[in-house]
């Protein structure tokens, strides 16, 4: 059975949650490989909405195994809270269906304090982070001062590490960032206590994936955020601190590249972005407002209003190359109903010249202007369509044009928020 990776092709919020939920029906194991509680997906549990930031939505299926890979930064407060909320709603959560990599780095209160204080200090230059301490936790990982899940299980080592980290963090917080310092003892006690609760869940995720493969179980690797928020390939520095691209699944879950058999890229039928940074197809007019309100484009984690614009196929081409996409899932297509004409960005111009690919220089990227191709819109509601033939000809033409320009087949089209409001063109696990 093939293993599938699902990645966002834009700036996150492409609707990965729904696609992952659908694909989970055919997967045995679901693995998160990067990011942290900066991500968020809305789950409907027994009629009640719950937003999960860390636990994959596969947890709703009792027989699936959900794993949090070493590439994820874990805030144990958030993880425990999510476990509790799910249990209160009747979902069974235990070490038999949830595991956290012993190598996953842990978010501590000083990471959150630094994230907030740095953004405040940057003023207008701020990145617009989610404020969850994600960047500072990854900094410590690269700086070899991070605290891993396995350290939560060894109080003496945990104490030493927190103490030595706090010395430096408090100096930074107080002297440089003019923020409040943090106390060692309550932090140490709390993290020891959380470590005890999490002890049965802390495991070797790489080995668990290998075992699953040997038993013929297939794996769904779930990327968070999106390709253009990738620390290496995104619009740096307006990016997150990890690698959402498909290659990140190897490093962030502990698997070799040959274990990734199919990569599906999620493409929202238009583009959105939260936080700062260049956005070539951004619409600051009433069309942008219409997309924002119809698409309910507010962040699941921060509630921030998302910036909206036309679908950018130049960006998508980059994502196809960076992820090696085998297929696309087009989401939120129904949001475009009633907009006429539609526009697809098929190229960029910089200083009057056509550019071949997106410039790495942010200054140049910010000066790029989109080259649009117009496409006729449609007026009909499309949420009841279950096959491509059920769609109006203009909608099919819009999809065909995306396939034609990108050369990548569409495997799935989402035409509404509900699970059944989906057109499955190709079974990725088939
Ligand atoms: P951080 O990941 O909190 O450090 O935020 C860095 C940038 O990534 C900011 O622009 C955030 O808005 C953006 N970001 C982080 N997580 C998500 C997400 O799940 N969806 C969309 N944007 C995100």
pLDDT at 15: 92
- Whether the CB-CB separation of 131 and 302 falls below 8 Å is answered with yes
The verdict on whether 13 is a catalytic residue reads yes
- Alpha carbon 122 to its chain's center: 25
Active-site residue, selected from the candidate residues 28, 41, 262, 318: 41
DSSP string, 187-254: HHHHHHHHHHHHGGGEE-HHHHHHHHHHTT--EEEE--S-GGG-TTTSSTTSS-SS--STTHHHHHHT
Q: Tokens in use for 424?
A: 């499955």
Instruction: Give the residue, out of 33, 240, 298, 331, with the most ligand 1 atoms within 8 A of its beta carbon, to mutate for a pocket test.
Output: 240
- Whether the CB-CB separation of 5 and 195 falls below 8 Å is answered with no
> Ligand 1 pocket, 229 CB below 6 A?
yes
> Ligand 1 pocket, 397 CB below 6 A?
no
Q: Tokens in use for 232?
A: 């290496």
Distance CA 65, CA 50 (A): 19
pLDDT at 212: 96
Residue nearest to atom 2 of ligand 1 (CA): 240
Q: Which helix (H) or strand (E) holds 106?
A: strand 105-106
Q: Tokens in use for 172?
A: 């930074």
Residue 163 Cα to ligand 1 midpoint, Å, equals 29
Q: Which residues contact 303 (CB under 8 A, 6 or more apart)?
A: none
CA 146, 150, 153, 155 torsion: positive or negative?
Answer: negative
Nearest to 138 by CA among 252, 257, 11: 252
pLDDT at 242: 98
> Ligand 1 pocket, 225 CB below 6 A?
yes
189 vs 55, 110, 183, CA distance in Å? 24, 15, 11
Residue nearest to atom 9 of ligand 1 (CA): 129
Asked, as a colleague might, if the bond just before 382 is cis with ω within 30 of 0, I would say no
Residue 225 Cα to ligand 1 midpoint, Å, equals 7
362 vs 310, 318, 368, CA distance in Å? 20, 16, 10
Residue 53 Cα to ligand 1 midpoint, Å, equals 12
Q: pLDDT per residue over 236-295, tens digit each?
A: 999 999 999 999 999 999 999 999 999 999 999 999 999 899 999 999 999 999 999 999
> Ligand 1 pocket, 38 CB below 6 A?
yes
Q: Tokens in use for 294?
A: 């119809």
> Ligand 1 pocket, 240 CB below 6 A?
yes
pLDDT at 43: 72
Longest dimension (CA), the chain: 66
pLDDT at 301: 77
**What are the chain's domains?**
3-102+206-262 (3.40.440.10), 105-198 (1.10.300.10), 267-424 (3.90.170.10)
Distance CA 73, CA 135 (A): 9
pLDDT at 91: 93
> Ligand 1 pocket, 272 CB below 6 A?
no
Instruction: Give the residue, out of 38, 39, 118, with the most ligand 1 atoms within 8 A of its beta carbon, to mutate for a pocket test.
Output: 38
> Ligand 1 pocket, 1 CB below 6 A?
no
> Ligand 1 pocket, 70 CB below 6 A?
no
Q: What is the pTM of this model?
A: 0.96
Q: Which parts of the chain sit beneath pLDDT 50?
A: none
The verdict on whether 230 is a catalytic residue reads no
pLDDT at 396: 98
pLDDT at 356: 82
């Amino acid at each position: 059975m093939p293993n599938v990776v699902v990645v966002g092709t834009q700036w996150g919020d492409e609707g990965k949650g729904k696609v992952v939920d659908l694909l989970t029906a055919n997967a045995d194991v679901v693995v998160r490989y990067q990011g942290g509680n900066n991500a968020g997906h809305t789950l409907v549990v027994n009629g009640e909405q719950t937003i999960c930031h860390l636990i994959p939505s596969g947890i709703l299926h009792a027989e699936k195994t959900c794993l949090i890979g070493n590439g994820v930064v874990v805030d144990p407060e958030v993880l425990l809270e999510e476990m509790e909320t799910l249990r209160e709603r009747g979902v069974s959560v235990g070490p038999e269906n949830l595991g956290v990599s012993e190598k996953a780095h842990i978010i501590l209160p000083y990471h959150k304090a630094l994230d907030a204080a740095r953004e405040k200090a940057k003023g207008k230059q701020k990145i617009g982070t989610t404020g969850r301490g994600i960047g500072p936790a990854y900094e410590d990982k690269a700086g070899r001062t991070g605290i891993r899940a396995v350290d939560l299980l060894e109080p003496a080592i945990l104490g030493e590490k927190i103490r030595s980290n706090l010395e430096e963090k408090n100096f930074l917080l107080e002297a440089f960032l003019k923020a409040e310092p943090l106390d060692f003892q309550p932090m140490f006690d709390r993290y020891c206590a959380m470590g005890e609760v999490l002890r049965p869940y802390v495991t070797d995720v790489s080995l668990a994936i290998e075992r699953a493969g040997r038993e013929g179980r297939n794996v769904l690797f779930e990327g968070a955020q999106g390709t253009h928020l990738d620390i290496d390939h995104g619009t740096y520095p307006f990016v997150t601190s990890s690698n959402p691209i498909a290659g990140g699944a190897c490093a962030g879950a502990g698997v070799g590249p040959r274990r990734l058999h199919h990569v599906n890229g999620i493409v929202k039928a238009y583009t959105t972005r939260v936080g700062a940074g260049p956005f070539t197809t951004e619409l600051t007019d009433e069309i942008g407002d219409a997309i924002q309100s119809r698409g309910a484009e507010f962040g699941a984690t921060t509630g921030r209003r998302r910036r909206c614009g036309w679908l950018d196929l130049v960006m998508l081409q980059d994502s196809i190359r960076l992820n090696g996409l085998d297929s696309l899932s087009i989401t939120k297509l129904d949001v475009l109903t009633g907009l006429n004409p539609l526009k697809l960005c098929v190229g960029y111009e910089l200083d009057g010249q056509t550019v071949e690919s997106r410039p790495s220089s942010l200054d140049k990227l910010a000066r790029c202007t989109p080259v649009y191709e117009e496409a006729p819109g449609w007026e009909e509601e499309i949420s009841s369509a279950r096959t491509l033939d059920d769609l109006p000809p203009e909608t099919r033409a819009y999809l065909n044009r995306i396939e034609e320009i990108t050369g990548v087949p569409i495997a799935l089209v989402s035409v509404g928020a509900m699970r059944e409001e989906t057109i499955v063109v190709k079974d990725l696990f088939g």
